[in-house]
Amino acid sequence: MAASIGSRMCLRCPSIKNLSIQRTSPVLSIASQQQVRERHSKHYEPKWRKLRAQKVIKFLLIQMNIPDWNKLRREANYTPEEMRREMKKKGILPPRTFTERSILISSTSSLFEEYVPPEGDGLASLVSGAGAKQRMTELEKKGKSYMQLRKIRQFDEEFDTKTFPDDAQEIYIKANKLLENHKENEDELHDLVTEKAYPEMIYKLDKRTLRWTFIKSLEPPRVVHIRTTHLISKENVYAQVTVRLHTQQSLALYDRFGRLMYGGENLLKDCLEYVVYEKHLSDEYGRWRLHGKVIPSWMPPQPGLYRTMRQPHFEAPDDDEETAVTEKKPDQGSGDRTLATA
């Protein structure tokens, strides 16, 4: 009886119970001791743990927007109605099918009602019959110019046709002198030249040197044509005044290698020009700027500018190489004979 009670007490004791389990069930005791799971594919050294973690892409941390290629393939074959329906779902505005032309308010884009100079102007004297005839035709054209002059004085009361030609000539001289360094004087040029005339004046001046000099005025400048127009609305008024300039100038144009392309600094030339000046009358801060030039059909055309290129440099062969080439046999090819001839 005591033995049975002792055995029960031993079984109830945790230490004795474990011992009894170890004796009775050795398989269960081995399974309970294996608490660490090991993967044999990992390296046994822990210093490579960081590198093993870096080779795994964590999609939870990196949000990757993978496009739906099937949807894109279907959208490529959409009709205009289906495309419009899909764009409405996404809230995207449809693209414009036309291009708007930009409008510059500070100046116009052309010469309106150009002045037609009389043929032979500047050649016939005022006393001769041809000169008197030119004066009569100019008087007939002045009627409309006087009406336009009254329109200009509604915005600019100080405008006078007697003092304006001298100011226009000063603008002409300053603008041409600034062309010598047009890249550095771009802001000053825009104060004297409109947005239409600026690209025309600097055309083909890159990598070239310009030298311009004003010598004297052969005849006093005068106003020969006045016109006004409105743009967009009747309150937005522009004025264009054509001034006749008969001057003596010198012009020299050099290419990028310093070779003279046109004219000469010591070559004086008489120039008859009809320069157009424009002003935005509706603008309170508007000013008279050079806008263009009227070239009559009877005036001889200006000579074109040729393109210059650098001639490649060839080194002359030595005496020993030249004698060796000439002593070769003729059956060795025509290329050697050509080199020997050169």
Distance of CA 45 to the CA centre of its chain: 62
Highest mean pLDDT among 35-39, 45-49, 169-173: 169-173
Q: Give me the domains of the chain, ranges plus CATH numbers.
A: 129-294 (3.10.450.240), 312-342 (no CATH)
What pLDDT band is residue 210 in, cutting at 50, 70 and 90? Answer: very high
Q: CA 287 to CA 280: how far, in whole Å?
A: 7
pLDDT in the model for residue 211: 93
Torsion angle of the four alpha carbons 146, 151, 152, 157, in this order, in degrees rounded to the nearest 10:
100
What pLDDT band is residue 245 in, cutting at 50, 70 and 90? Answer: very high
Q: CA 139 to CA 132: how far, in whole Å?
A: 11
| Total residues found in the chain within this entry | 342
What pLDDT band is residue 172 in, cutting at 50, 70 and 90? Answer: very high
Tell me what the mean pLDDT of segment 246-270 comes to.
Answer: 90
What pLDDT band is residue 116 in, cutting at 50, 70 and 90? Answer: confident
Q: Which of 275, 270, 155 is nearest to 216 (CA)?
A: 270
Q: Which residue has the higher pLDDT, 326 or 259?
A: 259
Q: If you average pLDDT over every residue of the chain, what do you get?
A: 77
Q: Which residue has the higher pLDDT, 14 or 216?
A: 216
Beta-bridge mates of residue 247: 217, 271
Beta-bridge mates of residue 62: none
Q: Alpha helices of the chain — where are they, by DSSP H?
A: 2-12, 14-24, 26-33, 49-54, 69-76, 80-90, 129-153, 164-178, 186-192, 197-201, 319-326, 334-341
Q: Which of 266, 274, 290, 286 is nearest to 215 (CA)?
A: 266
What pLDDT band is residue 64 in, cutting at 50, 70 and 90? Answer: low
